[in-house]
Amino acid sequence: MSVVLLFVAALLVLALLPIGFGRAARVSTALYLAATAISLFLFGFALSHLVSGGAPLTLKLPIGLPFVGANFRLDALSAFFLAVVNLGGTAASLYGIGYGRHEKSPERVLPFYPAFLAAMNLVVLADDAFTFLLSWEFMSLASWALVMAHHKERGNARAGYIYLVMAGFGTFCLLLGFGLLAGPDGGYTFEAMRAGHATPLIEALILALVLVGAGSKAGLVPLHVWLPLAHPAAPSHVSALMSGVMTKVAVYGFVRIVFDLLNGGSWWSGLVVLVLGGVTAALGVLYALMQHDLKRLLAYHTVENIGIIFIGLGLALAFQANGMAAGAALALTAALFHVFNHSLFKSLLFFGAGAVLTATGERDMEHLGGLIHKMPLTSFAFLVGCVAISALPPLNGFVSEWLTFQAILISPVLPQWALKLTIPAVGALLALSAALAAACFVKAFGITFLGRARSKAAEAATEVDRFSLTAMFALSALCLLAGILPGFVIDGLAPAIQGLVGAHMPPQAGERWLSIVPIAESRSSYDGLLVFIFIALSAFIAATAVHRLASHALRRSDPWDCGFPNADPATQYTAGSFAQPIRRVFGTLVFRAREHVEMPPPGSLEPARFETTLRDLVWDGIYAPIAGGINYAADHINWMQFLTVRRYLTLVFVSLVALLLVLAL
Amino acid sequence: MSTILDLLVQGAQMALVLLLAPFLTGLVRKVKARLLRRRGPPVLQPYRDLIRLFRKEVVLAHNASWLFRVAPYLIFAATWVAVALVPTFATGLTFSWSADLIAITALIGGARFFLALAGMDVGTSFGGIGASREVMIASLAEPAMIMITFTVALIAGSTQLSSIAQFMLSPEAGLSVSLGLALVALIIVSLAENARVPVDNPATHLELTMVHEAMVLEYSGRHLAMVELAASLKLLLYVSLIACIFAPWGLAAPGAGPIALAVGAFSYLVKLTIGAGLLGLFETAIAKMRVFRVPEFLGGAFMLGLLATLLLFVLRSH
Pairing of strands A554-557, A594-598: unpaired
Write out chain A residues lying below 8 Å of B124, CB-based: 559-561, 565, 571-572
Range of the domain at A614: 591-665
Q: Which amino acid is at B263?
A: V
The overall average pLDDT reported for chain A is: 92
| Residue A485 and residue A598 in one domain | no
Pick from A554, A586, A589 the residue to mutate for testing the B interface (most B CBs within 10 Å): A554
Instruction: Name the least confident of A47-56, A229-238, A328-337, A375-384.
Output: A47-56
| Residue A506 and residue A612 in one domain | no
| Residue A325 and residue A438 in one domain | yes
What value does the CA radius of gyration of chain B take, rounded to a whole number of Å? 19
Write out chain A residues lying below 8 Å of B136, CB-based: 439, 581-582, 585
Mean pLDDT within A164-177: 95
Buried b (16+ CB within 10 A) or exposed e, B103-130: bbbbbbbbbbbbbbbbbbbbbbbbbbbb
Cβ contact (<8 Å) for B128 and A409? no
Write out chain A residues lying below 8 Å of B123, CB-based: 369-370, 450-452, 559, 569, 572
Cβ contact (<8 Å) for A585 and B57? no
Range of the domain at B83: 2-315
Write out chain A residues lying below 8 Å of B302, CB-based: 428, 432
Report the percentage of chain A scoring pLDDT > 70. 100
Of A423, A443, A558, the CB nearest to B62: A558
What value does the CA radius of gyration of chain A take, rounded to a whole number of Å? 26
Choosing from A498, A519, A540, the residue where a domain stops is A519
Of A447, A451, A530, the CB nearest to B98: A530
Residue among A138, A150, A284 at smallest CA distance from A218:
A284
Of B63, B133, B313, the CB nearest to A370: B63
DSSP H helix total and E strand total for chain A: 27, 5
Residue among B161, B73, B69 at smallest CA distance from B111:
B73
| Residue A496 and residue A609 in one domain | no
**How many domains does chain A divide into?**
2
pLDDT tens per residue, range B41-85: 999 999 999 999 999 999 999 989 999 999 999 999 999 999 999
Give yes or no for residue B154 having a pLDDT over 80. yes
Cβ under 8 Å to A: B residues 178-217: 205-206, 217
Q: Is residue A285, in this structure, part of any structural domain at all?
A: no
Got the DSSP string for A360-407? HS--BGGG---HHHH-HHHHHHHHHHHHHHTT-TTSHHHHHHHHHHHH
Q: What ipTM describes this predicted complex?
A: 0.95
What confidence score (pLDDT) does residue A23 get? 65
What confidence score (pLDDT) does residue A242 get? 95
User: How many CB atoms lie under 10 A from the CB of residue A185?
Assistant: 8
3-class state of residue A57 by DSSP: strand
| Residue A462 and residue A369 in one domain | yes
Whole-angstrom distance, CA of residue A232 vs CA of residue A363 = 9
Whole-angstrom distance, CA of residue A5 vs CA of residue A42 = 10
User: How many CB atoms lie under 10 A from the CB of residue A630?
Assistant: 10
Cβ under 8 Å to B: A residues 233-272: none
Cα dihedral sign for A40, A41, A42, A46? positive
Q: How far is CA A216 from the centre of its chain?
A: 12
Whole-angstrom distance, CA of residue A477 vs CA of residue A462 = 23
DSSP symbol at A253: H
Q: Say if B167 is an interface residue toward chain A (CB within 8 Å).
A: no
Q: Is residue A318, in this structure, part of any structural domain at all?
A: yes
Of B106, B133, B150, the CB nearest to A581: B133
Q: Is residue A514, in this structure, part of any structural domain at all?
A: yes
> Between the CA of residue A24 and those of A18, A98, A465, A468, what are the distances in Å?
9, 14, 19, 20
3-class state of residue A330 by DSSP: helix
Instruction: Read off the pTM.
Output: 0.95
Contacts of A210 (CB under 8 A, 6+ apart): A173, A174, A177, A253, A254, A257, A258
| Residue A482 and residue A333 in one domain | yes
Mean pLDDT within A254-264: 91
Residue among B279, B288, B283 at smallest CA distance from B200:
B288
Q: How far apart are the first and last CA of chain B?
A: 44
pLDDT tens per residue, range B108-140: 999 999 999 999 999 888 899 999 999 999 999
Pick from B124, B159, B228, B304 the residue to mutate for testing the A interface (most A CBs within 10 Å): B124
Cβ contact (<8 Å) for A524 and B318? no
What confidence score (pLDDT) does residue A264 get? 78
| Residue A459 and residue A320 in one domain | yes
Write out chain B residues lying below 8 Å of A413, CB-based: 316, 318
Nearest residue in B to A453, CA atom? B123
Contact assessment for residue A467 and residue A33, using Cβ atoms and an 8 Å cutoff: no
Whole-angstrom distance, CA of residue A67 vs CA of residue A347 = 40
Residues across chain A: 665
Got the DSSP string for B17-49? HHHHHHHHHHHHHHHHHHHTT---S-TTHHHHH
Whole-angstrom distance, CA of residue A215 vs CA of residue A114 = 25
**How many domains does chain B divide into?**
1
Q: Say if B313 is an interface residue toward chain A (CB within 8 Å).
A: yes
DSSP symbol at B297: H
Cis peptide before B42 (omega within 30 of 0): no
Cα dihedral sign for A558, A561, A565, A567? negative
DSSP symbol at A65: S
Q: Say if A412 is an interface residue toward chain B (CB within 8 Å).
A: yes
Mean pLDDT within A90-101: 93
Mean pLDDT within A295-319: 96
What confidence score (pLDDT) does residue B208 get? 58
Got the DSSP string for A403-420? HHHHHHHTGGG---HHHH
Q: Is residue A99, in this structure, part of any structural domain at all?
A: no
DSSP H helix total and E strand total for chain B: 11, 1
How close A401 gets to chain B, by Cα (Å)? 10
Cβ contact (<8 Å) for B77 and A392? no
Residue among A349, A332, A325, A282 at smallest CA distance from A582:
A282
Q: Say if A10 is an interface residue toward chain B (CB within 8 Å).
A: no
Give yes or no for residue A141 having a pLDDT over 90. yes
Cβ contact (<8 Å) for A560 and B65? no
Q: Say if A447 is an interface residue toward chain B (CB within 8 Å).
A: yes
pLDDT tens per residue, range A527-555: 999 999 999 999 999 999 998 888 888 99
Whole-angstrom distance, CA of residue A161 vs CA of residue B201 = 52
pLDDT tens per residue, range A473-532: 999 999 999 999 999 999 999 999 999 998 888 888 777 777 888 888 788 889 999 999
Q: Say if A569 is an interface residue toward chain B (CB within 8 Å).
A: yes
Give yes or no for residue A22 having a pLDDT over 60. no
E-strand ranges in chain B read 58-61
What confidence score (pLDDT) does residue B1 get? 55
Whole-angstrom distance, CA of residue B143 vs CA of residue A428 = 7
How close B148 gets to chain A, by Cα (Å)? 10
Of A434, A554, A578, the CB nearest to B132: A578
How close B233 gets to chain A, by Cα (Å)? 14
DSSP symbol at A70: E
| Residue A598 and residue A510 in one domain | no
pLDDT tens per residue, range B232-280: 999 999 999 999 999 998 888 877 788 888 999 999 999 999 999 999 9
Half-sphere exposure of A362 toward its Cβ, with a 13 Å CA cutoff?
20
What confidence score (pLDDT) does residue B206 get? 59
Q: Say if A425 is an interface residue toward chain B (CB within 8 Å).
A: yes
Whole-angstrom distance, CA of residue A500 vs CA of residue A80 = 13
Contact assessment for residue B92 and residue B10, using Cβ atoms and an 8 Å cutoff: no
Q: Is residue A375, in this structure, part of any structural domain at all?
A: yes
Whole-angstrom distance, CA of residue A44 vs CA of residue A299 = 28
Contact assessment for residue A351 and residue A235, using Cβ atoms and an 8 Å cutoff: no
pLDDT tens per residue, range A372-405: 999 999 999 999 999 999 999 899 999 999 999 9
What confidence score (pLDDT) does residue B317 get? 59
User: How many CB atoms lie under 10 A from the CB of residue A456?
Assistant: 9
Of B78, B122, B306, the CB nearest to A535: B78
A371 or A101, greater pLDDT: A371
Choosing from A484, A519, A554, the residue where a domain stops is A519
Q: Which helix (H) or strand (E) holds B233?
A: helix B221-246
| Residue A412 and residue A514 in one domain | yes
Helix ranges (H only) for A502-623 are 528-549, 575-582, 588-590, 617-618
How close A222 gets to chain B, by Cα (Å)? 24
DSSP symbol at A550: S
Cβ contact (<8 Å) for B77 and A542? yes
The overall average pLDDT reported for chain B is: 90
How close A15 gets to chain B, by Cα (Å)? 43
Mean pLDDT within B7-16: 87
Residue among A453, A458, A442 at smallest CA distance from B63:
A453
